[in-house]
Structure 1
Amino acid sequence: MHSLAERGVPLEERQKANLSGLSDWDAARIFLEVVRSGSFRSAAERLSLSINAVRRRIDDFERQTGTTLFTRDVHGTHLTDEGTMVVSAVERMEAAAFDVLRTSDSTANVLSGEVRVAVTEGLGTFWLAPRLVEFQQAYPKILVDLHCAMRSADVSRHEADVAIHLSRPSALDVKLVRLGRMHLMFWASEKYIEKHGAPRSAMELIKHRLVLQFADQLAAKETFESFFPGVPERDLLVMKTNVSSANYWAVANGAGIGVFPSYAVALGGKLIPLEVELNRPLDIWLSYHPGSGRIPRVRHMIDWLIEAFNPARFPWFKEEFVHPHEFKDSYMGEPLTQLFGGFSTEER
Structure 2
Amino acid sequence: MLDWDKLRIFHTAAESGSFTHAAEKLNMSQSAVSRQISALEEDLGLKLFIRHARGLVLTEVGEQLFRTAHRMHWELQQVETQMSESQEVPTGPLLVTTTVGIGSTWLSSRIHEFLILYPEIQIEIKLNDAELDLAMREADVAIRLHRPNQSEMIQRKLFTVHNHFYASEQYLQEFGEPQAVEDLDKHRVISFGEPVPSYLGDINYLERLGRPDSSPRRASMKVNAIYGMMQAARAGIGIAMLPDYVTEGETNLRRVLEGIELPAYEAYFVYPPALKNSKRVGVFRDFLVGKAREWSF
TM-score, normalisation: structure 1: 0.56
Is residue 2:277 matched to residue 1:298? no
Q: Which amino acid aligns with 1:249?
A: Q
Aligned partners of 1:178 and 1:284 also within 8 Å? yes
Report deviation, 1:224.
5.1
Give the conservation status (yes or no) of the 8 Å contact 2:207–2:219: no
Structure 2 letter corresponding to 1:304 = F
Q: How does 1:252-263 map to 2 (within 5 A)?
A: 252-262=234-244
Amino acid at match of 2:125: L
Matched, 1:124 2:103: yes
> 1:142 & 1:257 partners in 2: Cα distance?
41
**Aligned to 1:282, which of 241, 245, 265?**
265
Query: Secondary structure of 1:294's match?
Result: coil
Within the alignment, does 1:211 sit opposite 2:193 as a pair?
no
Q: 2:143 aligns with which of 161, 164, 168?
A: 164
- Count how many residue pairs are aligned between Structure 1 and Structure 2: 214
Q: How far is 1:226 from its partner?
A: 5.1
Partner of 1:14: none
Paired position in structure 2 for 1:112: 91
Does the CA contact (< 8 Å) of 1:178 and 1:283 recur in 2? yes
SS of residue in 2 equivalent to 1:155 = coil
Shift of 1:264: 5.2
Q: Who is 1:230 aligned against? A: 213
Q: Percent identity?
A: 27
Q: Measure the CA separation in 1 of the matches of 2:223 and 2:262.
A: 21
Residue 253 of structure 2 aligns with an amino acid whose one-letter code is: L
Match runs of 1:166-205 below 5 Å: 166-205=145-184
Alignment of 1:1-348 (within 5 A): 104=83, 107-214=86-193, 215-216=196-197, 217-220=199-202, 223=205, 227=209, 228-230=211-213, 232-233=215-216, 235-262=217-244, 266-276=248-258, 277-310=260-293, 313-314=294-295, 317-318=296-297
In structure 2, do the counterparts of structure 1 residues 157 and 174 end up closer, same or farther at CA, with 3 Å as the change threshold?
Answer: same
C-alpha distance 101-279 of structure 1, shift in aligned 2 (>3 A)? closer
Q: Secondary structure at 1:250's aligned position in 2?
A: helix
Is contact 1:164-1:287 (8 Å) kept?
Answer: yes
Deviation at 1:112, TM superposition (A): 2.2
Q: Which runs of 5+ in 2 are unaligned?
A: 1-78
Point out where structure 1 has 5 or more consecutive residues left out of the alignment: 1-99, 319-348
The list of structure 1 runs, each at least 4 consecutive aligned residues, that deviate by more than 6 angstroms after superposition, is: 100-103
Distance 1:283-1:196 versus aligned 2 partners, 3 A rule = same
* 1:107, distance to aligned residue in structure 2 (A): 4.2
Residue 62 of structure 2 aligns with which residue?
none
RMSD: 2.6
Higher relative CO (CA 8 A, sep ≥ 6), structure 1 or 2? Answer: 2
Higher-Rg structure is: 1
Alignment CA distance shift 1:267-1:106 (3 Å): closer
Is the Cα contact below 8 Å between 1:202 and 1:278 reproduced in 2?
no
Structure (1 or 2) with the greater helix fraction = 1
- Alignment TM-score, normalising by the size of structure 2: 0.65
